[in-house]
Amino acid sequence: MANVAVVGAQWGDEGKGKIVDWLSERAEVVVRFQGGHNAGHTLVIGNQTYKLALLPSGVVRPGKLSVIGNGVVVDPWHFLEEVKRVNAQGVAVSPATLKVANHAVLILPLHRDLDGWREDVPGTIKIGTTRRGIAPAYEDKVGRRAIRVGDLGEDDILERKVNTLLTHHNALRAGLGKPLVEPAELLAQLRALAPQILPYAEDVWERLDMLRGEGKRILFEGAQATMLDIDHGTYPFVTSSNTVAAQAMIGSGLGNGAVGYVLGIAKAYTTRVGEGPFPTELFDAIGDGLQQRGMEFGVNTGRKRRCGWFDAVMVRQAVKINGIDGIALTKLDVLDGMDELKVCVGYELDGKRIERFPFTMGAQARIKPIYETFEGWNESTKGARSWVQLPANAVKYVRRVEELIGCPVALLSTSPEREDTILMTDPFKD
């Protein structure tokens, strides 16, 4: 059986939570491998709705092991609060069912402070950050001054690490005219956290390697999406980690070849949160309709998502960069009742047609979409669970999307309910 990595193929919010939950029934282990608690996943199971940000989607499924890998940055206070909230909804989350990598970096209050302050500096590029401290935590990781989960268990070294971290941050805070952090205060906060966090901590790479050797099916869950990747996305309007499929192995500690199937998630249209280029964005009643019918608001932030037509050029690029084997196309039902649909099939840049999303900020701002137009459908696709239940024009739309992105649609989602899914290819089968 092939281990599966799930990645977003657009700008995030594609419905990864539902798809991961749907696939987790077939998996035995679910691993988050990058990002932080800026990743909102909504799971609808029966009459219960779970809103997750940091915890792997597998936590709501009995009998599954959930793992937060080393590629994730962990806000320990949010972690404890999310565990508490999910437990209150009747899901048993404990150190027996949830593991956190010892070498995952901690997000601290000083990271949240810095994230917000920098976003508000006049005259700078506005990224549209969630202000949750994600980027500053990753900066400290690569700057080799971060506090990691396992450091909470080495009290003698923890004090030296705090002093090293504050040498950097207090200099920044002084330059911004902000109050300094007292080392003793931060140290006391971390010592108070230690007995609550450490029971979940272990060298997860070793456990995952053992489980892989036993033939257990592992599902790797990505956050955000390809076009928010720090290297391959619409820089600088991106997140602070690598979101592509290759990060599944780096961010979990498993070796090359651990992923056998890459499933990309894409909406039947396109959305984006925050700043940055969006060639197919709609500023009219059609865009407003997509936003309202699709309930396009951030799960954790409540921010309204920008909406536009499906961008086949962008998704095709994501397919190639990730090595995507199949696409899960979500929210097809949001397109119900529209007379006409459009898909971006190319871009015009300075009078010339191009077939890729450019990586420079100036070119990204200048590209114009080239559209192909499709006849819509009046019949409802909501809740369809088989191919034959779809209107003919909806089938044509999906088939043309497959041609344009150069990748088959493996799953088709027709509502937030996990069972309203049409399976064409099972990613867990070789």
pLDDT at 124: 65
Nearest to 332 by CA among 425, 249, 255, 396: 396
pLDDT at 281: 97
The answer, yes or no, to whether residue 102 has pLDDT greater than 70, is: yes
Of 31-45, 63-77, 350-364, 406-420, the poorest mean pLDDT is in 31-45
pLDDT at 150: 97
Of 12-26, 158-172, 264-278, 389-403, the poorest mean pLDDT is in 12-26
**Tens digit of pLDDT for each residue in 250-265?**
999 998 899 999 999 9
The answer, yes or no, to whether residue 16 has pLDDT greater than 90, is: no
pLDDT at 301: 63
Of 22-31, 41-50, 336-345, the poorest mean pLDDT is in 41-50
- Residue 78 designated active-site: no
Of 65-74, 113-122, 145-154, 347-356, the poorest mean pLDDT is in 113-122
Q: b/e map of 15-54 (b: 16 or more CB within 10 Å)?
A: bbbbbbbbbbeebbbbbbbbbbbbbbbbbbbeeeebebbb
The answer, yes or no, to whether residue 122 has pLDDT greater than 80, is: no
- Residue 232 designated active-site: no
User: What number of other Cβ atoms are within 10 A of residue 269's Cβ?
Assistant: 27
pLDDT at 304: 87
pLDDT at 211: 96
The answer, yes or no, to whether residue 120 has pLDDT greater than 90, is: no
CA angle 119, 122, 127 (to 5 degrees): 35
d(CA 11, CA 364): 14
Q: Which two tokens stand for residue 173?
A: 């805070």
The answer, yes or no, to whether residue 313 has pLDDT greater than 70, is: yes
Mean pLDDT of the chain: 93
pLDDT at 44: 72
d(CA 313, CA 347): 8
Mean pLDDT, residues 385-395: 95
pLDDT at 11: 95
The answer, yes or no, to whether residue 1 has pLDDT greater than 80, is: no
Catalytic residue among 21, 37, 41, 333: 41
Report percent pLDDT > 70 for the chain.
96
The answer, yes or no, to whether residue 40 has pLDDT greater than 80, is: no
pLDDT at 123: 64
Nearest to 13 by CA among 34, 39, 45: 39
SS3 187: helix
**Tens digit of pLDDT for each residue in 179-222?**
999 999 999 999 999 999 999 999 999 999 999 999 999 999 99
Local confidence band at 316 (pLDDT 50, 70, 90 cut-offs): very high
pLDDT at 77: 97
Report percent pLDDT > 90 for the chain.
80
The answer, yes or no, to whether residue 350 has pLDDT greater than 80, is: yes
